[in-house]
Each structure stands twice: as C-alpha cells, then as structure tokens.
Structure 1
Amino acid sequence: MSEAGTTTAIGGPVGPVQTKDRIFNLDMLRGFAVLGILAVNAVTFAWPVEVMMSEAPPPVDLGQADWVGFWAVDVFFSDKMRTLFTLLFGVSVFLVGGETRDRDRGSVLTRRLLWLGLFGLLHGMIWYGDILLHYAYCGLLFMLCRSWSAKRLLSWGGGLTLLWGVIATLGYLAIANAPAELAEQMRAGQPASDPESIAAVIQAYGTGAFGWFTQNVADWAMFQLAFSPFLIPITVPLMMLGLGLYKIGFFSGKAPMALYLALLVLGGLNLAAFAVFRWQDIMAGPEVDPTRGLAAAMGGLAPLISLFYASALILLTRYGLKPVLGLLAPVGRMAFTNYLTQTLIMASLYYLPWGPFWFGQQGPAAIWMSVGAIWLLQIVWSPLWLSRFTMGPFEWLWRRVTYKGPVPLRRAALPAAA
C-alpha cells in the first residue's frame, strides 16, 4: 500500500515527502479504498479459503442479515476497491520515481518496490490474501512505462482494461446461457469441497500454536502460484490507466466535466443494475440463475464502478464536502499502516492463538461488526497519530529502508516552514 501523493515528488529532489506537499484527493481516495478493501478481505480472515474456491456450503447457517451483508460486499466493494487502489498505485509509482530519465529517483523507486515485496512476503506468512508482493512485481514492470504520455497510457491501460471487462462480461453471459450438458460439464470441472473437509480446515487452524501457520502458508503458496501471475495483465493496465488519468488532471478535479459526468452516468447505471440483478441471483439460490448471467456480467465491469466512485468523491470534494471527506484523508496518508493493522486485528480476532478464535464461527452479518469497528478505529486513530507524527509507523519504516538514512517521524523534528 503506497502512501506517496505529493506535488514536489514530480520534479523535486529525491527525499522523504513533507506533509504540506500532499495531494488531498489522492489521500482521500486512498483512504476510501483501503477501508473498502477490508470489507472485501474480511471473510477471507473468517472462513476457510475452500469455501470461496468451491461450491461448498458456508461453515455456518446464514440468515437474512447474512445474505444482505454478503450482497453488500459483492455489489459495492468486491473488485471495486482493489481496482481503485491499483489506479492510485500507478500514480504513486510516478510520484516517487519521476521520469525514467531520472536515474536517482528510479533507483529509489526500485528499492521501494523491492522492499514492498519483502514486506509482502512477511505479510503473507500471517494472511494468505496479501497483495503487496503482487503490487511489488507489477510495479517493477509498470515503472518502465511511467514516462509515457497521458494519451498512450490511457490508450493501452484503458484499452486493455476495457478488453478484459468485455471478455468477462461476454464470458459470464455465455456460461449462463450455455446448453445444459455443457453447463453441467463446466460445473463438474470446478473445485469441489464438502462440510467435512471445511470442518477439518477449521480444526487445523485451531490446532496448536502454529496450526494456523501451516494452513495459511499452503493457501498463500497456492494463490501466489495459481492466481497472482494471471492477474499481472489486469493489474499493470490498471496502473497505466490510473497514471494516464492523473496526467490529464482527473484526480485533481481538473479533467473535463463531461468525463466525470459520463463516468457518473455509466458507472451509476452499472452499479444500480448489478445491485438489482445480484440480489435476485442471491435470493434464487445457488442452483438457479434468474438473471441468465446478467448479475455476473454487471459485476465484470468493476473498473467502471471504481471510476464512478472516484468521480463522485472528487466532485463532492470540489462542491463543498471536503470537510466531511477530509475524514478519509488521514486514513489514506497512513494506508500502508492501516492495511497491515487490519490484518493484525482481523487475524487476532479470527485465528491467531491469542485471540477469541472466531474462525468459521460467524456469518457475514457478524463479520461486518468487526469491519465497522475497525473502520471507526482507523478513522479516529489516523488523525490522532498524524497530529503528533509526520507519517504512520509502517510508512516510516518503509521510507527508512528505502532512503537508507534517517527519516523524521515526530513533528517536532521537522524544520519550521519558511
């Protein structure tokens, strides 16, 4: 999770970022995204990965409130928050590394991404769903493109993102409307699991001081080998798209109003349709698809909904709600710290040996209680921390190893403004 978001980082000297240099909209959007990411990740802390990877029944009986909670995550958060954060990560790569001809800043960016990869490896040992390692190697690829023009970035990034969205949409529709025999063959090829194997995983997580560790590392290795490499063609174009939008002034609110309005209309219609169709799909049960693939197809256009969110928040900031949305900016300034502390809290609650061990014991409604409590905690503690310190503790550690020298942490250590 990158915390870079500065104006001087574009053309100024290599060095730690000062608070006065930050760009509000980037911090605000990053805070919105990192909080939303927790809503998506929460169930992966609380349930065995086999439940998400197969048609196995959930480990607990689900009531109406649980289905509402599941629907809310799927419609409003899943894929949208990761997409939004990936767009912003592409911007931060440029803000830290500058143009490709700047070798000094390029060296800093390379060290920064390599250290991010190491943090991701360590983080993955606690929770298999880590995305930092993926961002690190995608960032090392994307940094070669950071000096491209806005037009080229938007053409390649936007074009590839649109292509994957069209493929996903048409694929979902084709699968849902395939002949019954073919559909049955495709279902037969999906991973299978049963309540007994799910119970065995829950027991493994609770066996001994390191029972959870063995299972978690196995799940992490599976994701790194079987899934993360195939996300590279999706992640890198999103970074291109994010930087292209930054270069035309989208994130600063200076892009043409027609662009924001178009994204509001198209993204809003897509979100509304997805909400309606997905609820119909959930209420019909797993064996029936009353929407004939429309629910899944609308979900395949997640980047459009992410841009809808960004456009709405940017315009709300421009037209008077900056004080309210300012609650999100400190969360975004400490996104790296907040992302990692979300893991520490959720893992402690659900499967680490010193916690209450709620793993496999709660439905989405109860899990949402944990999510809401952590949201409140991070919205409150982020500005309190930043009132005394220049950055979050993990941001400080990341910069300390990146710049290979002292980095001020306490506000009193900063030189007074001229």
Structure 2
Amino acid sequence: MSIEDTRTTNRLAPIEAGARIPTLDVMRGLAVLGILAVNVVSFGLPFIVYGDADLSPFPVTGANAVARWTVDVFFHQKFITLFSMLFGASIFLVGGEREDEARGRLLRRRLFWLAFIALIHGLGFWYGDVLLLYAGSGLFVMLMRSMPAGALIGIGLGVTLLLGAMQAGTAWMMVAGPPEVVEAMNEGQPQHTMEAVKAAIAAYRSGWAGAMGQNLTSWVFLQGASLSMFVFSTVALMMTGMGLFKSGFLSGRAPTWVYLVLIGLGGTVLALLGVLEWSEATAARGANPTRGLAEAVASFPILVTLAYVSLIVLVVSRGPAWLAAPLRPVGQMAFTNYLTQTLIMTTVFYMPWGPRLFGQVDYVGMWGLVLGVWALQLIWSPLWLSRFSMGPLEWVWRCLSYGRWVPIRKAA
C-alpha cells in the first residue's frame, strides 16, 4: 500500500516542509478502506478459499452470492493496484531526484524499516502482508525516480497491460482452448478439496499454535509467489504511479477530458465485468458459464483503477469539498489504519484473546465486519489528527527512519 507522507513544496524540499496533497490523501483513504473488503476473506477463511469460491464452506448463493459478486467486481485487484501506484508516487515524494543523496539515504532507511515492520506483521499476525513486497520493489523503483514522467508511464503501463494480456490469455486457454491444451495446462494445477478446507479451519480454531502454523505456511507460499511473480507487476505499477504523479495527473493538472475518457473506459470494463461475474456467481459449483471470459476481463484492473483515480481527482479538484473530506484523515493515517485492520480482524477470527470465529462467518457477515471497521476508522482518524500531526504508527516509522525523536503532538 502507499503509506508515505505526502508533504512537499517542491521536488527537493524536505518532506516535513510543505502542504499535503489532497488528492493523494483521499486516494489513500479510499484504498485502505477498499482493500479490506478483499482481504477480509483471507482473514476469515483458509488461503485456498481466497482464490476459489467453490471451496467455500458456505453456499455462495442468495445474499452470499451478491456479497461475493460485489467484491469481485468493484474491489478485487482494483485497490491493491491503487496501493502500488501510490507507493510509487511516495517513493519520489520522499526520495526526490537521484542526485539528492540525503533524501536517497532517508528513503533507503524508510524501506529498511518498512521491511522490518512487514516481517513482524506477516509472521506474527497475518500472512497476506504486502509491505515486504513493497519494501523490496521500492529498492528497485527508487533507482528510476529521475526518469521522465512519460517514460515511467509508458514503460510501467505498457508492462502492466502486457502482463494483463498474458494473464487473460492463460485464463481463457485453461477453459476454452483446445482439449489437449486445456488438459495440459490444468494437469499441474494443485487439487484442493473440502477436506483440506475443513482441516485448515480446525487448525486455526485449535489455538494460537495451530493458527500460526497455518499462517506461516501461507506466508512462505505467498512470499515465494511475490519474489517470482508479483514483483514484476508491482514494480510496473509503482513506475506508473510515479510517472502519473510527476506528470501532475494525480494532483489534477491534466485536462478534464483525459479524466472523463478514463472514467468512460473504466466504467465500460466495470459494466462488462459485472455482467460476466454475475453469470459466474449464480452458476452451479464448478461451472464456468463465461468460458474464461470473466477471468480474462478481470485481468485488467488497471483500467478500472484509473477510472477510480480520475473520479477522485475530479471530485477533489473540481467538486464540492465536503464530498471527499471524510476520506482525507483516513488516508493521512493509512499505515496505521492498514495495520489496525489486521489487529482487529485477526482478533475476531483467530487470535487467542478473541472469539476465534475463523471459518464461521459467511460473506454477508464479513461485509458487516468490513462496514464496522470502515465506520470506526472514518470516526477515529479525524479525532486522532485533531490532536496529533500524524498517525501513531506513521510516527514510529518516521522516528525509526530519522533515528531520532520526531514531534507528533500539534502545537496548541
């Protein structure tokens, strides 16, 4: 996720010196809330269910089907894409141009401490941590922060679309390709069963040791996938976000028609995806009524994310101030809110001090939890920032990065 400070007056000014950028704060706020709607499934159900609703212990019908469809259409992959893009922008905001050695050292220290915090988060709480991937990818992307905006956007967006096309082609071929190709492509796929799902649920509910054992297994698998696959798409998205920031797109300096075109394109993809995913959601277990087309369209979340971004920019820069105002404090405390979501959800589902509801809450119930956390963070973020200049975990991270005590309380 994108969790750096947005303060800057010019490219080489210290990050404490300038005013915050409203569009970035609102995007961060929307992203940190939106990603919880996706992550809640991996908090409350085994890892193998996250990617395959057919393995769900609950019937994905009726209200559960609507709940799952809503996530798949409007949230899945859209907000992790936004997180990655904003993190790329934050690398430039903190590190400036490559010739600025002091800010470059600060950026490296921040990425080092981010990786340290990520290890605690992933190993001690929840395997789905994305911060370690971001810290590692950031070390590579920081080398590109003096590239022109056009080159960053061209390379980053080009690679993103290419990877999406490859994923779409693979998804389609695995279902609708020639029989011999379908058989060959599916032969090496892991075959999970409901018995494995029940065993994982029992392990999570058995106590802290069982839950952490399952968490460690999933963490090792996910980090391996991050190093071998996800890092390429993450770096490309970070480059795109950095380029969009340097070009002024993220702060509202592009022509209005550009934002409107992207909203139209993303809206069209979203509408098509909604129809296709509804066919999948209402089909029998194991059926594939769209013959891989739903998965193919879902392979281009960048188009929907850019529509979301364009809508936010227009609302913040050209719309009424009150419309996006509630999201700004949430975005200013995105790091704290992201990790707080983990603490709340792991407490609810499998930590020994909570009710240990792992595997007991269906998709509708999960939406109830998500809405409750959204309300909590929308309320507590502005209350905290009325007294303090940054979130508590942002403050810890900053102190570690600077190697000194940084003031947090606002002046009277």
TM-score between both structures, scaled by the size of structure 1: 0.94
190-199 or 135-144, which deviates more: 190-199
CA distance in 2, matches of 1:185, 1:369: 41
What letter matches 2:55 in structure 1?
P
What letter matches 1:196 in structure 2?
E
CA distance in 2, matches of 1:273, 1:208: 44
SS of residue matched to 1:411: coil
User: Residue 56 of structure 1 contacts residue 192 of structure 1 at CA under 8 Å; is this kept in 2?
Assistant: no
Indicate yes or no: 2:8 matched with 1:7: yes
Q: Which residue matches 1:143?
A: 142
What letter matches 1:48 in structure 2?
P
User: Residue 55 of structure 1 contacts residue 193 of structure 1 at CA under 8 Å; is this kept in 2?
Assistant: no
Percentage of pairs with the same residue: 47
CA distance in 2, matches of 1:198, 1:137: 32
Q: What is the Cα deviation at residue 229 of structure 1?
A: 3.2
Q: Which residue matches 1:65?
A: 63
CA distance in 2, matches of 1:71, 1:88: 26
SS of residue matched to 2:291: coil
User: Residue 60 of structure 1 contacts residue 360 of structure 1 at CA under 8 Å; is this kept in 2?
Assistant: no
User: Residue 56 of structure 1 contacts residue 195 of structure 1 at CA under 8 Å; is this kept in 2?
Assistant: no
Q: Which residue matches 2:397?
A: 398
Q: Which residue matches 2:112?
A: 114
Where do 5+ consecutive residues of structure 2 fail to align? none
User: Residue 48 of structure 2 contacts residue 55 of structure 2 at CA under 8 Å; is this kept in 1?
Assistant: no
User: Residue 267 of structure 1 contacts residue 308 of structure 1 at CA under 8 Å; is this kept in 2?
Assistant: yes
Q: Which residue matches 1:333?
A: 332
Where do 1:274-313 residues align within 5 Å? 274-313=273-312
CA distance in 2, matches of 1:304, 1:53: 21
CA distance in 2, matches of 1:152, 1:227: 25
What letter matches 1:117 in structure 2?
A
User: Residue 63 of structure 2 contacts residue 364 of structure 2 at CA under 8 Å; is this kept in 1?
Assistant: yes
Where do 1:356-375 residues align within 5 Å? 356-375=355-374
Indicate yes or no: 2:217 matched with 1:218: yes
Q: Which residue matches 2:22?
A: 24
Q: What is the Cα deviation at residue 181 of structure 1?
A: 4.4
Q: Which residue matches 2:44?
A: 46
SS of residue matched to 1:136: helix
Aligned length, in residue pairs: 410
CA distance in 2, matches of 1:11, 1:238: 23
SS of residue matched to 2:353: coil
Where do 1:173-322 residues align within 5 Å? 173-322=172-321
Q: Which residue matches 2:152?
A: 153
CA distance in 1, matches of 2:129, 2:373: 18
Q: Which residue matches 1:416?
A: none
User: Residue 56 of structure 1 contacts residue 194 of structure 1 at CA under 8 Å; is this kept in 2?
Assistant: no
CA distance in 1, matches of 2:81, 2:6: 18
CA distance in 2, matches of 1:86, 1:349: 28
What letter matches 2:120 in structure 1?
L
Output one character per residue of 1:87-146: Cα deviation in whole Å (capped at 9) or x when no partner: 110010000001100111000000000100011000002100000000000000000000
179-188 or 213-222, which deviates more: 179-188
Where do 5+ consecutive residues of structure 1 fail to align? 414-418
Q: What is the Cα deviation at residue 164 of structure 1?
A: 1.2
Rate the CA distance shift 1:288–1:184 in 2: closer, same or farther, 3 A. farther
CA distance in 1, matches of 2:170, 2:230: 17
